[in-house]
Amino acid sequence: MVESVDTIFTGINGAFISELYERYLENPNSVDPSWVNVFTDLDDDPLLIKSDIKGASWARSNTSIIGAGEPDQAEKHSNHVSSNVSSDQVNEIAKRSIRARILIRSYRVRGHLHAQFDPLGLVGAGYHKELDYKSYEFTEEDLDKEFYLDTITAMGGKEMATLRQILDTMRQSYCSSIGVEYMHIQEMEERAWIQQNIEGVDYKSNYSPDLRRAIYKDLVEAEGFETYLQMKHTGTKRFGLDGGESLIPFMERVLRSAASVGVEEVVIGMPHRGRLNVLARTMGKPYVAIFSEFQGNSAHPEDVQGSGDVKYHLGASADRDFTEGLMHLSLTANPSHLECVNPVVLGKVRAKQAQRGDEARDKVMGLLMHGDAAFAGQGIVPESLDLSQIKGYRTGGTIHVVVNNQIGFTTNPSSSRSTPYPTDIAKGMQAPIFHVNGDDPEAVVRVADLAAQFRQKFKRDVIVDLFCYRRHGHNEGDEPMFTQPKMYTAIAKHPTTREIYRKKLIKEELITLEEIERVEATFRSHLDDEFEAAPNYKTNKADWLEGKWEGLSALEGEEEKRDDDTAVELGRLTEIGNSLARVPEEVSVNNKLIRQLKAKSIMMDTREGIDWAMAEALAYGSLLMEGHPVRLSGQDSGRGTFSHRHAVITDQENENRYFPLSQINPSKQAPFEVMDSPLSEFAVLGYEYGYSLAEPETLTIWEAQFGDFANTAQVIFDQFIASGESKWLRMSGLVMLLPHGMEGQGPEHSSARLERFLQLCAEDNLQVVNITSPANFFHALRRQVKRNFRKPLIVMSPKSLLRHKLNISRLNEMGPGTGFCRIIPEIDTLQEDSEIKRVILCSGKVYFDLLEARRQQNIKDVVIIRVEQLYPWPRGSITEQISKYSNADVVWSQEEPSNQGSWHFVSDRLNYILSNLDQKTKRRRNVIYVGRRASASPATGALKIHNKEQAFLIDQALNGKESDIVQPYIPIK
Ligand SMILES: Cc1ncc(C[n+]2csc(CCOP(=O)(O)OP(=O)(O)O)c2C)c(N)n1
């Protein structure tokens, strides 16, 4: 029965002190001044204490601990005291007890300061006043005096304890190889759980010889593998675990412990340090495969394309058959950029939980390893931690292990962070933090148990700070003595964790020497066998397109010929559209929104004038009805930054939320989720990418508030989205909506940095579109889950165009016989093709300015072609269009400055097309650039200048002679 924690008020003197304390809370002057000091020392929330006073008890149920929750006994005790001693004496005893309790509390809060968790002895110890009993007005004589401490779990439910006993228990609980920080947690039940599992618990006495044997074997394998690699491939980079070998028994135990409380699947993320060891020992990757990679062979089979990756970034999956239960493990591949894999892992976990219907988040769990310098330094760490309790993103708690080797490359902790521990950032997230000495593997194993159990019980993140050291340099070619001579002199003399544990086992006769030697010899001979087999080792299987991905295939054939069946029956579309346009009777809908819903209803009736928001909703709705879930996450995505989407209708009276897309046919449709994300791009994009890696059937979308904010997530674009498939054979069908367009809103709201995405394009890795028709957007979205492969889709999405009168479609453009258009040819009737003087190619918003101006000026000899998909570059369709106009010059028109937008990307490609076409004629054309000049800033801050520039470039595109057109890079004098 655990109801409360950390109370100094629930014991023998409870009634007396609580009355005093309540008086004090109401008016500090109403109690004897000697009590004021005692009470002010307690920095607890008065309300919390008051509730403790009112009858909470955290006594163990199997002991006879007395607490205020058991009033009979408390009363009895109280009476007992008052009948035997005078009220002055009660007062005195009460004060003494309360001081003891404050001392106890200090151990709970600060005991870690005296814990012995640094194997090198560089951190910890020292003198801390708060942990000195003398600071609480005790003297040496008090050590053997008894106190009434009947509610202290630590004292095993004793009614009386001496100060010496109290100190012993507190030191053993909080200042041994494990130092725990948990008093920052606000939930009393969570604090109580930790207290109960830490205070006075002699876990080591329960460890069986089998467990000790297993721990030793793990250490033998962890150390043995590193030293074997060092011997066979001296100096080759492997980012060895040497010094942090306890990570391996930790991993074994945390997984087993998680299995024993019902976890069936764990998604793992980790940096380079120790990764080969984890791959081998935890993930079961054959040593022979790793040795083969050391000999220079690829990790992929020969017939698989792609760049591959270095061996210490690779992922793996495995099924482990623990006695505690079967468990599927997947170690997520990651780039060298530390910590950026964190949100990716979280997104994968969430997707897997959705697949299993694991709403309690009991079955699938995330486990992340970190380096100490990276955990403290990288902003993605708090960004990702912040997701842990948020509705659309929570995953039921992640276990974090910081492999704290007390150095980052050559940088000391004092230069790495402003906080005492690398883990301090997690305190704000209410996570308990267990610091543990890596040289005490039994303590490490204990912490693994606590972490797994705490996570499963409270569905919160838990942090393990595995204190260790790094035996060699940053990598095996580095010399650490250049920068940390003292530390490395100490390390050189320091025995390995295995040696220390070996000694202990032998000394305490816990396992026989013979057994120990047998374990060592068996492993060594296994490594020899595997090493010998490595030269002939061939990977015969690429582990992709399995499980959920089965049935999908690698890209083949010409992109422009790929069949995209994205059309939907018109009847079905109107049914869906009418449902979305319905004003829900049960909701008090905002009046302006009622008008919008009516407008949608008219679109459906007339089957015309369908705007962007409606086309988007029809794409989602139709996919949902076909069984594809839709998940859309981004800042303010529910309503939509530009107030166009209204995927959530908020009741004007009670703020209840109604989701039209979830109400089309609730029992027959797939789930729709839309989330207003935290104000993060890096973590949220990484998360959605992770989700898309695990779930190919869901249309997963991330939306940037404005396109340029996606910059802060650039690592995810570069390292995962653009290159993940090539490096790791992992597809993603993630859609990214990045509002883009020059609208006079200033430098930072104009550009989604289209040029950067185009620069990333190669080998069909991405799709980049800048679409000018709602129907085409509808098809682009549906295409993402309708094809037999998945590719990330980057959409330069509209802002003002959401409401532009020309940016509309007819319903039948989404109906049978239609599909995604990579380019959209001229739509107006103009002169004969041979009379056309100019072909303007453009992409995105500028099209509407060009079209309107041409119509206004009644120009009939200038054709405008829209390139809706910039990548994969639709060379065939563009060639076909340009070839119709053999007497025309060819202009590329864009509103972005010439160093931005598409110009760099299209110019060579268009010239290539022109040179091919012109081979048959005498004419030699080069594409002409019309757009803003190169500019440091994406746009002007002044609307007037913007308008002038825009009018000028439109005029030049339509009317400018080639010789008059402003050159992209020549500044105006
Ligand atoms: C984002 C990022 N910045 C810099 C680096 C270069 N780098 C690689 S490892 C490392 C030190 C990491 O220290 P720590 O996190 O303590 O892990 P350790 O290598 O000590 O295990 C650095 C700076 C990187 N990989 N990623």
pLDDT tens digits, 587-596: 999 999 999 9
The angle that helices 209-232 and 497-507 make with each other, rounded to 10 degrees, is 150
As a whole number of angstroms, the distance between CA 98 and CA 482 comes to 53
Give the DSSP letter of residue 848.
H
pLDDT classification of 973: cutoffs 50, 70, 90: very low
Measure 960 CA to ligand 1 centroid, in angstroms.
54
Given a cut of 50, whether residue 720 has pLDDT beyond it is yes
- When mean pLDDT is compared across 831-845, 895-909, 913-927, the lowest value belongs to 913-927
At 189 the pLDDT is 95
**What mean pLDDT is predicted for residues 836-851?**
98
At 75 the pLDDT is 34
Measure 720 CA to ligand 1 centroid, in angstroms.
18
- Best mutation site among 247, 338, 475 for ligand 1 pocket (most ligand atoms within 8 Å of CB): 338
pLDDT classification of 77: cutoffs 50, 70, 90: very low
Residue nearest to ligand 1 atom 13, measured at CA? 408
Residue nearest to ligand 1 atom 9, measured at CA? 409
Give the model confidence (pLDDT) of 504-523 as tens digits. 999 999 899 999 999 999 99
Ligand 1 atom index nearest CA of 338:
26
Residue nearest to ligand 1 atom 10, measured at CA? 409
As a whole number of angstroms, the distance between CA 45 and CA 25 comes to 11
At 37 the pLDDT is 66
User: For residues 477 and 515, which has the higher predicted lDDT (pLDDT)?
Assistant: 515
pLDDT classification of 90: cutoffs 50, 70, 90: low
Measure 85 CA to ligand 1 centroid, in angstroms.
64
Residue nearest to ligand 1 atom 12, measured at CA? 408
**What mean pLDDT is predicted for residues 471-482?**
92
Given a cut of 60, whether residue 51 has pLDDT beyond it is no
Phi, psi of 266 (to 5 degrees): -130, 130
As a whole number of angstroms, the distance between CA 38 and CA 55 comes to 21
Question: Among 759, 766, 774, 767, which residue's Cα sits nearest to residue 804?
Answer: 774
pLDDT classification of 42: cutoffs 50, 70, 90: low
Strands 889-897, 364-371: pairing is unpaired
Measure 725 CA to ligand 1 centroid, in angstroms.
24
Ligand 1 atom index nearest CA of 416:
16
Ligand 1 atom index nearest CA of 336:
25
**8 Å CB contact between 146 and 2:** no
Measure 350 CA to ligand 1 centroid, in angstroms.
27
Measure 337 CA to ligand 1 centroid, in angstroms.
8
> Would you state the structure tokens that stand for residue 800, as one six-digit string?
């003002």
**Residue list, ligand 1 pocket, CB within 6 Å:** 273, 336-338, 371-374, 403, 405, 407-409, 470
Give the model confidence (pLDDT) of 2-20 as tens digits. 333 334 444 444 556 667 7
pLDDT classification of 303: cutoffs 50, 70, 90: low
At 516 the pLDDT is 94
Ligand 1 atom index nearest CA of 409:
11
3-state secondary structure (DSSP) of residue 326? strand
Measure 338 CA to ligand 1 centroid, in angstroms.
6
Given a cut of 70, whether residue 81 has pLDDT beyond it is no
Ligand 1 atom index nearest CA of 239:
19
Given a cut of 80, whether residue 304 has pLDDT beyond it is no
Residue nearest to ligand 1 atom 1, measured at CA? 337
Task: Name the CA radius of gyration of the chain, rounded.
Answer: 34
Ligand 1 atom index nearest CA of 404:
16
Given a cut of 80, whether residue 38 has pLDDT beyond it is no
Phi, psi of 480 (to 5 degrees): -75, -20
By CB neighbour count within 10 A (0-12 exposed, 13-18 middle, 19+ buried), where does 921 fall? exposed
Ligand 1 atom index nearest CA of 337:
26
Given a cut of 60, whether residue 69 has pLDDT beyond it is no
Measure 374 CA to ligand 1 centroid, in angstroms.
6
Measure 301 CA to ligand 1 centroid, in angstroms.
30
Given a cut of 60, whether residue 279 has pLDDT beyond it is yes
Strands 160-162, 146-148: pairing is antiparallel
> Would you state the structure tokens that stand for residue 267, as one six-digit string?
């998604």
User: For residues 91 and 910, which has the higher predicted lDDT (pLDDT)?
Assistant: 910
Q: How far is CA 817 from CA 46, 562, 607, in A?
A: 70, 15, 16
Residue nearest to ligand 1 atom 24, measured at CA? 337
pLDDT classification of 149: cutoffs 50, 70, 90: low
Measure 407 CA to ligand 1 centroid, in angstroms.
9
pLDDT classification of 86: cutoffs 50, 70, 90: low
**What mean pLDDT is predicted for residues 372-394?**
98
Ligand 1 atom index nearest CA of 405:
20
Measure 11 CA to ligand 1 centroid, in angstroms.
50
Given a cut of 90, whether residue 265 has pLDDT beyond it is yes
The share of the chain scoring above pLDDT 70, in percent, equals 88
**8 Å CB contact between 212 and 507:** no
Measure 486 CA to ligand 1 centroid, in angstroms.
21
Supply the DSSP string of 519-538, one letter for each residue.
HHHHHHHHHHHHHHHGGG--
**What mean pLDDT is predicted for residues 675-680?**
98
At 743 the pLDDT is 92
User: For residues 319 and 21, which has the higher predicted lDDT (pLDDT)?
Assistant: 319
**What mean pLDDT is predicted for residues 51-64?**
30
Ligand 1 atom index nearest CA of 374:
15
- Residue 375: CB partners within 8 Å, gap ≥ 6? 339, 381, 400, 402, 422, 423, 425
Ligand 1 atom index nearest CA of 370:
15
Average pLDDT, the chain: 89
Given a cut of 60, whether residue 315 has pLDDT beyond it is yes
pLDDT classification of 364: cutoffs 50, 70, 90: very high
As a whole number of angstroms, the distance between CA 842 and CA 850 comes to 9
Ligand 1 atom index nearest CA of 244:
21
Ligand 1 atom index nearest CA of 406:
16
Measure 901 CA to ligand 1 centroid, in angstroms.
34
**What mean pLDDT is predicted for residues 601-616?**
98
Residue nearest to ligand 1 atom 23, measured at CA? 409
> Would you state the structure tokens that stand for residue 572, as one six-digit string?
């079905």
Give the model confidence (pLDDT) of 624-648 as tens digits. 999 999 999 999 999 999 999 999 9
At 32 the pLDDT is 75
Measure 965 CA to ligand 1 centroid, in angstroms.
50
Residue nearest to ligand 1 atom 22, measured at CA? 409
Ligand 1 atom index nearest CA of 377:
15
Measure 409 CA to ligand 1 centroid, in angstroms.
6
At 556 the pLDDT is 77
Element (H, E) at 952: helix 943-959
- Residue 532: CB partners within 8 Å, gap ≥ 6? none
Measure 834 CA to ligand 1 centroid, in angstroms.
62
Supply the DSSP string of 880-931, one letter for each residue.
HHHHT-TT-EEEEEEEEETTSTTHHHHHHHHHHHHHHHHTTSS----PEEEE
Ligand 1 atom index nearest CA of 273:
21
- Best mutation site among 339, 409, 712 for ligand 1 pocket (most ligand atoms within 8 Å of CB): 409
pLDDT classification of 64: cutoffs 50, 70, 90: very low
Measure 410 CA to ligand 1 centroid, in angstroms.
10
Measure 65 CA to ligand 1 centroid, in angstroms.
50
Measure 317 CA to ligand 1 centroid, in angstroms.
25
User: For residues 227 and 136, which has the higher predicted lDDT (pLDDT)?
Assistant: 227
At 297 the pLDDT is 83
Residue 872: asked if its preceding bond is cis (omega within 30°), the reply is yes
Distance of CA 664 to the CA centre of its chain: 32
As a whole number of angstroms, the distance between CA 927 and CA 944 comes to 30
Ligand 1 atom index nearest CA of 339:
1
Measure 620 CA to ligand 1 centroid, in angstroms.
41
Ligand 1 atom index nearest CA of 403:
21
At 711 the pLDDT is 95
Measure 411 CA to ligand 1 centroid, in angstroms.
10
User: For residues 963 and 13, which has the higher predicted lDDT (pLDDT)?
Assistant: 963
Residue nearest to ligand 1 atom 7, measured at CA? 409
Question: Among 944, 899, 940, which residue's Cα sits nearest to residue 747?
Answer: 940
Token pair 């008059």 is at which residue? 964
